Amino acid sequence: MIEIRNLHKTYRLNGISKVIARDISFTFPEKESVALLGGNGAGKSTMLKMIAGTLEPDSGSISSNGTISWPVGFAGSFHGDMTGAQNVKFVARVYGVDTEDMMNFTKVFSQLGAHFHLPVRTYSSGMKSRLAFAMSMAVPFDTYLIDEVTAVGDASFRIKSEAILRERLENAGAVIVSHSLEQLLRLCTSGVVLENGRFFYYARIEKAIEHHNYTMQGNLPPWMR
């Protein structure tokens, strides 16, 4: 369970303020996959970073009674001079996961072949994304934070990625950001629309998508007029 209390976050750039969170209080349902919807710039990725603990809010708090993943597939924290294998070993030790099991799973799933034992700085962006996703799936979490992650790789890798993600979500919750509404319908049962710094929660994902679509057209949903 993830609980947000009185959360505030504002970005200021070139004298312009953008409110990401405006006194948000919300509890994500336990072991439920929740879509996080909103227009470009609404603050979805920022919200995931705050939940993950990699970005501090201006005020308020976020707490959990379970383990929360880093944003799944995030490749920005790799050490470029270390090999893919060495990066995996490091993460395994940090999270207390069996090193050999995580190494074997990540190597096979990422399909990096011999590149797995080469420095990450030699990888293409796609190779880094495949390594990052495989590492994320190798560690069991109570809640996964997912930001457009299954869009990486070719068609076969995307299908494989969504399949294992669905398998993980049978026993865990998730907060999922995706531009693919079809994917959100497949993976999520409920949804939150982030709009003007506020959360609008819907127990049915279809209703959340309906609200989102009205917002994208510059309209309020009929039930909010």
**pLDDT digit string, tens, across residues 110-163:** 999 999 999 999 999 889 988 988 999 999 999 999 987 665 667 788 888 889
Flag whether 190 is in a domain. Answer: yes
Flag whether 7 is in a domain. Answer: yes
Least confident residue range of 13-17, 49-53, 55-59: 13-17
* CATH number assigned to the domain comprising residue 216: 3.40.50.300
CA–CA distance, 207 with 137 (Å, rounded to integer): 29
> Rounded to two decimals, what is the model's pTM?
0.89
Flag whether 19 is in a domain. Answer: yes
Q: Yes or no: say if 54 and 77 are a contact pair by the CB < 8 Å rule.
A: no
CA–CA distance, 36 with 4 (Å, rounded to integer): 14
Q: pLDDT-derived band of residue 75, with 50, 70 and 90 as boundaries?
A: low
Closest by alpha carbon to 71, among 171, 166, 141, 157?
141
Q: What is the domain extent for residue 208?
A: 1-67+145-155+174-225
Closest by alpha carbon to 119, among 166, 159, 83?
83
Q: Which amino acid is at 107?
A: K
pLDDT at 153: 64
How many independent structural domains does the chain possess? 1
Task: Label residue 37 exposed, middle or buried (CB < 10 Å: 0-12, 13-18, 19+).
Answer: buried
State the Cα angle at 29 between 25 and 73, rounded to 5°: 95
* Cα Rg of the chain, angstroms: 18
- Which helix (DSSP H) or strand (DSSP E) does residue 125 occupy? helix 125-138
Return the number of other C-beta atoms located less than 10 Å from residue 216's C-beta: 12
Return the number of other C-beta atoms located less than 10 Å from residue 119's C-beta: 16
Flag whether 50 is in a domain. Answer: yes
pLDDT at 73: 64
Flag whether 20 is in a domain. Answer: yes
